[in-house]
Amino acid sequence: MTRTIPVPANNRGLRRSAKKRSRALKPWYTNTSLVAGMIVIGLLIFVAVFAPILTPYDPIQQDLRHALQDPSAAHWFGTDKYGRDILTRLLWGTRVDLRIGFLSVIIPFVFGSILGALAGYFGGWFDTLVMRIVDVFFAFPFLVMVIVLVFILGSGEASIYLAIAAVSWVAYTKIVRGEVIVAKELDYVVGARLSGMSHARVLFRHIGPNVLSQSIIYGMSDIVMNIMGVVTLGYLGLGIAPPTAEWGSMILDGQEFITSHWLQATLPGLLVVVTSLGVSWLGDGLSEQLSPERRK
Amino acid sequence: MLQRLSFIPVRLIQAIPVVFGVTLVVFLMAHLLPGDPATAILGDKATPATIAALRTQLGLDQPIWNQYGLFVSHLFQGDLGTSFTYQRPVVEIVLAAIPVTLSLVAYSLTLALIIAIPLAAIAATAPNRGRDIVVRIYTLIGQGMPQFWVGIMLILILAVNLRLFPVGGYGNTALEHLYYLFLPALTLGIALTPTIIRSLRSSTIDVLGSEYVATARSKGSAGVTLFRHHVLRNAAIPTVSVIGVTMGYLVGGSIVIEKVFAIPGLGSLMLNSIFTRDFPTIQAVTLFVGLFVVGVGILTDLTYTLLDPRVNLTGSVRS
Amino acid sequence: MSTPLLEVTDLSISVMGSKARTKIVEGVSFSVEAGERFGLVGESGSGKSMTLRSIANLLPGGVTVSSGSILYKGQELIGLQNEKRRRLMGPEIAMVFQEPMTALNPVMRVGEQIAEGPRRYLGLSRSAAMDLAVSMMARTGIPDPKQRAKAYPHQLSGGLRQRVMIAMALSCRPKLLLCDEPTTALDVTVQHQVLRQLEELCEDFGASLVFVTHDLAVVNQTCSKLAVMYAGRIVETGPVKDVFKDPRHPYTQGLLTSAPDFDQPERELIPIPGFPPNLADRPPGCEFAPRCRYAQADCTSLQPRLLPVEPGRNSACLHTEEIFPGVLV
Cα distances from C212 to residues B226, C46, C95, C219, C256, in angstroms, run 26, 11, 11, 9, 17
Nearest CB partner across the interface for B219, out of C90, C107, C152: C90
Q: Among the three residues A195, A210, A241, which one is the final residue of a domain in this structure?
A: A241
B212, B217, B220 member nearest C102 (Cβ): B212
Does the distance separating the beta carbons of B17 and A138 come in below 8 Å? no
Q: Is the dihedral of CA B145, B146, B148, B153 positive or negative?
A: negative
Residue A24: inside a domain, yes or no?
A: no
Distance CA C118, CA C174 (A): 11
Residue finishing a domain among A197, A223, A241 = A241
A-facing residues of B in 69-88 (CB < 8 A) are: none
Q: Length of chain B, please?
A: 319
Q: Model confidence at A228, in pLDDT bands (50, 70, 90)?
A: very high
> Are the beta carbons of A144 and B286 separated by less than 8 Å?
yes
Residue B115: alpha-carbon gap to chain centroid: 18
- Of B23 and C220, which is predicted with more confidence? B23
Q: How many domains does chain A have?
A: 2
Q: Does residue A233 share a domain with residue A116?
A: yes
- Flag whether A12 is in a domain: no
The residue of chain B nearest to residue A133, with distances taken between CA atoms, is: B21
Q: What is the pLDDT of residues B255-265, one digit of tens each?
A: 999 999 999 99
CB contact under 8 A, C103 and B214: yes
% of chain B beyond a pLDDT of 70: 95
Beta bridge partners of C313: C310
A243 preceded by a cis bond (ω within 30 of 0): yes
Query: For residue B1, what pLDDT band results from cuts at 50, 70 and 90?
Result: low
Chain B contacts of A37, Cβ < 8 Å? none
Residue among B18, B140, B282 minimizing CB distance to A151: B282
Residue A154 binned pLDDT confidence (cut-offs 50, 70, 90): confident
A154 touching chain B per CB within 8 A: yes
- CB atoms A280 and B255 under 8 Å: no
Between A75-79, B275-279, C45-49, C267-271, the lowest mean confidence (pLDDT) is in C267-271
Residues in chain A closer than 8 A to B291 (CB atoms): 139
Which chain A residues are within 8 Å of C278, Cβ to Cβ? 1-2
pLDDT band at A16 (very low <50, low <70, confident <90, very high): very low
Q: Residues of A with CB below 8 A from C279's CB?
A: 1
Using CB atoms, pick whichever of C88, C103, C107 lies closest to residue B215: C103
Q: State the residue range of the domain holding A204.
A: 104-241
For A112, what's the count of Cα atoms within 13 Å in the CB-facing half-sphere? 30
Instruction: Quote the Cα angle for C136-C141-C143, to 5°.
Output: 100
- The one-letter code for the residue type at B121 is A
Question: By the CB < 8 Å criterion, does A125 face chain B?
Answer: no
Residues A52 and A110 in one domain: no
Same-domain pairing of A184 and A118: yes
Alpha carbon separation from C199 to A25, A243, C185, C192, C211 (Å, rounded):
55, 85, 18, 11, 11
Domains in chain B: how many in total?
1
pTM metric for this prediction: 0.84
A37: distance to nearest CA of chain B, Å? 13
- Residues of chain A neighbouring B18 (CB-CB closer than 8 A): 132, 135-136, 139
Rounded-to-integer distance, Cα A236 and Cα A220, Å: 25
Same domain, A125 and A178: yes
Contacts of C161 in chain B (CB under 8 A): none
Q: Are residues A147 and B21, on separate chains, in Cβ contact within 8 Å?
A: no
B128 touches chain C (CB under 8 A): no
Q: Whole-angstrom Cα distance, residue A8 to residue A235? A: 61
Length of chain C equals 329
- Look at residue B191 and tell me whether its pLDDT is greater than 90: yes
Spatial contact of A280 and B143, defined as CB atoms under 8 Å apart = yes
Which pLDDT does position C189 carry in this prediction? 84
Distance from CA of A225 to the nearest CA of B (A): 9
> Does residue A169 fall inside a structural domain?
yes
CB-based contact (8 Å) between A147 and chain B?
A: yes
DSSP H stretches of helix in chain A: 11-24, 32-54, 86-103, 106-122, 124-138, 142-153, 157-183, 187-194, 199-201, 208-236, 247-255, 263-290
Spatial separation of the C-alpha atoms in residues B145 and B111, rounded to whole Å: 18
Q: So what's the pLDDT on residue C326?
A: 63
What is the reported pLDDT for B157?
92
Q: Provide the CB-side half-sphere exposure for C157 (13 A, CA).
A: 9
The residue in chain C having the minimum alpha-carbon distance to the alpha carbon of residue B125 is C61
Domain C34-51+85-223: homologous superfamily in CATH = P-loop containing nucleotide triphosphate hydrolases (3.40.50.300)
Give the residue numbers spanning the domain of B248. 90-275
The more confident residue out of B193 and B6 is B193
A49 — contact with chain B (CB < 8 Å)? no
Does B136 map to a domain?
yes
- Which long-range contacts link C157-161 to residues 24+ away (Cβ below 8 Å)? C158/C100, C158/C101, C158/C185, C158/C186, C158/C187, C158/C190, C159/C186, C159/C187, C159/C190, C159/C193, C159/C194, C161/C100, C161/C101, C161/C104, C161/C110
**Which of B83 and C130 is assigned the larger pLDDT?**
C130
Per DSSP, C174 falls in state -
**Residue B305 within a domain:** no
Best mutation target among C63, C116, C168, C173 (most B Cβ atoms within 10 Å) is C116
The alpha-carbon gap from A238 to the nearest alpha carbon of chain B, in Å, equals 9
CB contact at 8 A, A251 and A134: no
- Radius of gyration of the CA atoms of chain C, in A: 21
| A5 within domain boundaries | no
Nearest CA in chain A to B282: A148
Q: How confident is the model at residue A13 (pLDDT cuts 50, 70, 90)?
A: very low
**Higher per-residue pLDDT: A196 or C26:** C26
Reduced DSSP (H G I as helix, E B as strand, rest coil) percent helix, strand, coil of chain C, to 5 = 35, 25, 40
Average pLDDT over residues B149-172: 90
Chain C interface includes A3 (CB < 8 A): yes
pLDDT digits (tens, 9 = 90+) for A241-266: 888 889 999 999 999 888 888 899 99
Cβ distance C276 to A1 less than 8 Å, yes or no, reads yes
Give the mean pLDDT of A286-293.
74
3-class state of residue C212 by DSSP: strand
> Does a structural domain hold residue B24?
no
pLDDT at A19 over 60: no
Inspect the interface and report whether the beta carbons of B218 and C56 lie closer than 8 Å.
yes
Rounded to the nearest 5°, which phi and psi values hold at C312?
A: 80, 5
Q: Which residues of A231-245 are buried (b: 16+ CB within 10 A; e: fewer)?
A: bbbbbbbbbbeeebb
Mean pLDDT, rounded, for B49-70 = 81
| Beta strands, E only, B144-199 | none
Put simply, the chain B residues between 264 and 293 with a CB less than 8 A from any chain C CB are none
Query: Residue C227 in 3-state DSSP?
Result: strand
DSSP type of residue A3: -
A143 to B255: CB separation less than 8 angstroms, yes or no: yes
Among chain C, residues having any CB pair with chain A shorter than 8 Å are 44-45, 275-276, 278-279
pLDDT of the residue at B2: 58
Spatial contact of C73 and C233, defined as CB atoms under 8 Å apart = no
A177 pLDDT exceeds 70? yes
Model confidence at A292, in pLDDT bands (50, 70, 90)?
low
User: Per-residue confidence of chain C (329 residues) as pLDDT tens digits?
Assistant: 578 899 999 999 999 877 778 889 999 999 999 989 999 998 888 889 999 999 998 888 889 999 999 999 989 999 888 888 888 888 899 999 888 888 999 999 999 999 998 988 888 889 999 999 999 999 998 999 999 999 999 999 988 999 999 999 999 899 999 999 888 878 888 888 888 888 899 989 989 999 999 888 888 888 999 999 999 999 999 999 989 888 889 999 888 888 877 677 777 788 888 888 888 888 888 889 888 888 888 888 888 888 888 888 999 988 888 888 765 44
Are residues B297 and C97 in contact, defined by beta-carbon separation less than 8 angstroms? no
Q: Cβ contacts (< 8 Å) between B216 and chain C: which residues?
A: 105, 116
Report which secondary-structure segment, H or E, holds C288. Answer: none
pLDDT higher at C147 or B31 = C147
**Phi, psi torsion values for C230, nearest 5 degrees:** -140, 125
Quick check: helix, strand or coil at residue C75?
strand
Taking each helix axis as running N to C, give the angle between helix B279-307 and helix B90-124, from 0 to 180 degrees, rounded to the nearest 10: 40
pLDDT of A1 reads 32
In total, the C-beta contacts within 8 angstroms joining chain A to chain C are 8
| C56 interfacial to chain B (CB closer than 8 Å) | yes
B312 shares contact with chain C (CB less than 8 Å): no
A129: nearest CA in chain B?
A: B17
What is the distance in angstroms between the Cα of C161 and the nearest Cα belonging to chain B?
Answer: 13
**CATH classification of the domain holding B268:** 1.10.3720.10
**Calpha distance B208→B214 (Å, rounded):** 8
Residues from chain B contacting residue C101 (CB–CB below 8 Å)? 319
Instruction: Please report whether residue B177 resides in a domain.
Output: yes
Tell me if C153 sits within 8 A of C107, measured CB to CB.
Answer: no
- pLDDT for the residue C299: 87
Mean predicted confidence (pLDDT) in B159-186: 90
Cβ atoms of A269 and B145 closer than 8 Å: yes
User: What does R_g of chain A's alpha carbons equal in angstroms?
Assistant: 24
Distance CA A237, CA A244 (A): 12
Could you tell me which residue, C160 or B315, shows the higher pLDDT?
C160
In chain B, how long is the greatest CA-to-CA distance? 81
What is the pLDDT, as a whole number, of residue C156? Answer: 92
Task: Report the chain A residue with the minimal C-alpha distance to residue B20.
Answer: A136
Cα separation, A272 vs A159, in Å, equals: 22
Q: Is residue B21 part of a domain?
A: no
Which residue ranges make up each domain of chain C?
34-51+85-223, 249-323
Residue A294 above 60 pLDDT?
Answer: no
pLDDT confidence tier of residue A18, bands split at 50, 70 and 90: very low
Distance from CA of B194 to the nearest CA of C (A): 26
Contact C45 A2 (CB under 8 A): no
| Confidence at residue C164, expressed as pLDDT on a 0 to 100 scale | 93
pLDDT (0 to 100) of residue C1: 52
* B18, B149, B271: residue with CB nearest A269: B149
Alpha helices in B219-278 (DSSP H): 223-226, 232-261, 266-276
Q: Kindly list the strands in the beta sheet with C6-16, ordered across the sheet, starting from the edge strand earlier in the chain.
A: C21-32, C6-16, C63-72, C75-76
Residue range A150-155: mean pLDDT, rounded: 88
Distance (Å, whole) CA A15 – CA A207: 18
Nearest CB neighbour to C107, from listed B214, B215, B308: B308
B229 in any annotated domain? yes
From the list B22, B140, B294, the residue facing A280 with the nearest CB is B140
Contacts of B221 in chain C (CB under 8 A): 116, 120
Q: Report, as an integer, the average pLDDT of A283-291.
A: 84
B191 found inside a domain: yes
Helix, strand and coil content of chain B, in percent to the nearest 5, comes to 75, 0, 20
| H or E stretch covering C291 | none
Give the closest-approach CA distance of A27 to chain B in angstroms: 23
